[in-house]
Structure 1
Amino acid sequence: MSLLELKELKAKVEDKEILKGLNLNINKGEVHVIMGPNGAGKSTLASVLVGHPKYEISGGDIIFDGEEINDLAVDERAQKGMFLSFQYPEEIPGLTVEDFLRAAKEAVSGEKQYFMQFHQELVEKMERLHIDPTYADRHLNVGFSGGEKKKNEILQMAVLEPKLAILDETDSGLDRDATKIVFEGVQKLKNDNNALLIITHYNKVLDYLKPDFVHILMDGRIVKSGGIELVEYIEKNGYQKMKEELGL
């Protein structure tokens, strides 16, 4: 069943068009990877999907779970089950990880989260993801290493249980061990009722998470889709050769 469908999606920022007619279909239970050179529009796509006000949709449609959501605000998209893991998570002094997650869960679900029950469920999720439960009392991302910040993003994903998780270069700046821990955590959260859209520069992510589809994004469009063989092609030949072969 289709969870996300993009139809000729166009988007601009400050009158500069960045997405130029992007088509994509993601079904429940699938893992999709988007790769592409710098400036191709990868992070713009992530921001447009979650409704970042800086970006303006100038054409096409975003269909999420059967509903056109072009005009929905960020919080409304989150309530419908969309989640974005940031490339550079913010530090928020004075707000503990647990208080933040409980407030986020209440906002997204619309249901009161009672302290003791939420705490117990949070500890169980942290143990499952091999995250030290004492992190719950630390201020959000303050003093966290790059790997700890990214693990905390995956914990948010576990708590919020989104239908679609968009991971925007979650592996950026991580060493191999941290990448392994983060993406093994992501793998544990994948199921038949949700989907993952992973935006990445690096093929090392694919050592831990096997995608159903790989898409190459260039100049605001998906120019080629396939399987893991596309990653191997790019690793061997680079984006420029693909661009030449496609006559772009």
Structure 2
Amino acid sequence: MSTLAIKDLHVSVETAEGVKEILKGVTLTINAGETHAVMGPNGSGKSTLAYTIAGHPKYTVTSGTITLDGEDVLAMSVDERARAGLFLAMQYPVEVPGVSVSNFLRTAKTAIDGEAPKLRTWVKDVKGAMDALSMDPSFAERNVNEGFSGGEKKRHETLQLELLNPKVAILDETDSGLDIDALKVVSEGVNRFRSGGDKGLLLITHYTRILRYIAPDFVHVFVDGRFVEEGGPELAEQLEAEGYERFLAKAGA
């Protein structure tokens, strides 16, 4: 049973105007079996939080800690974080020309587990996961994200989530660019991942619509690089009805 603990995290980034602080003291604990939704307006720093956990070199941690089961995540390289059990579904997945989806998935699984999956079992697992996500079998032979629609990219991210089976998953605006049918399919995939009750999930979003399919245990309002309010699922409905205005005022943003 894993725990991702973030304590008083401050993060800066280089801009044309100089160094800018984006995260201004973020504290959050995600235990196994918990789903945390982080909601906030554009530019509030939500994606910065996701990429900092994953180890993107653009972001500099100036103070604070991130640990996974007591281990120092900030001391790990990006691949070490993945092997430790962290997973990031990106808002804008990158294209990887010349690498097929099937090769990419098997290589990733081998790197994380430290050994190649048994081919017969692996082919069955991939086919089952693709079928569940309504993905055509030919998808496996396409180059990673090359020419993919928004919905195909997000299904591919969810396919990775199910097959790599991390301890804690961070989904950065997985609902963006999805029509209602694709949203349902992707949400079902995420719910399959967390159905065992032993996975942690951090779900970053602007809107409540995905939370109608992936029910959160906790909702956090994120404004100007910090959490300004926390509550249960009812807080998301309040945001839907009232927007972020009073929270922006509260944060002085």
Using the size of structure 1 for normalisation, the TM-score is: 0.94
Contact 2:55 2:78 in 1 (8 A): yes
CA contact (8 A) 1:2 1:25 kept: no
Does residue 169 (structure 1) correspond to residue 173 (structure 2)? The answer is yes
Q: 1:2 to 1:143 in 2, by over 3 A?
A: closer
Instruction: Give the distance between the partners of 2:58 and 2:40, measured in 1 at CA.
Output: 22
C-alpha distance in structure 1 between counterparts of 2:86 and 2:9, whole Å:
18
Residue 75 of structure 2 corresponds to residue 40 of structure 1: no
Moved over 4 A (4+): 245-248
Tell me, yes or no, if structure 1 residue 123 matches structure 2 residue 127: yes
**Aligned partner (choices 203, 214, 230) of residue 225 of structure 1:** 230
- 1:49-85 CA distance string (max 9 Å, x none): 0111111111110011221221211111000000000
Partner of 1:99: 103
Alignment of 1:1-248 (within 5 A): 3-14=3-14, 15-190=19-194, 191-244=196-249
Give the number of equivalent residue pairs. 248
Cα distance in 2 for residues equivalent to 1:73 and 1:40? 26
Shift of 1:245: 5.3
1:22 aligned counterpart, secondary structure: strand
Q: What secondary structure does 1:170 align onto?
A: coil
Between the aligned residues of both structures, percent identity stands at 52
| Residue identity opposite 2:34 in structure 1 | E
Contact 2:2/2:200 (CA < 8 Å) preserved in 1? no
SS at match of 1:196: strand
Alpha-carbon distance in structure 2 between the residues aligned to 1:111 and 1:136:
21
- Tell me how far 1:117 sits from its aligned partner: 3.2
Q: Distance in 2 between matches of 1:140 and 1:18?
A: 31
Q: TM-score, normalised by structure 2?
A: 0.93
Where does the alignment leave 5 or more consecutive residues of structure 1 unmatched?
A: none
CA RMSD in angstroms comes to: 1.6
The amino acid across from 2:123 in the alignment is: H
How far did 1:186 drift?
0.8
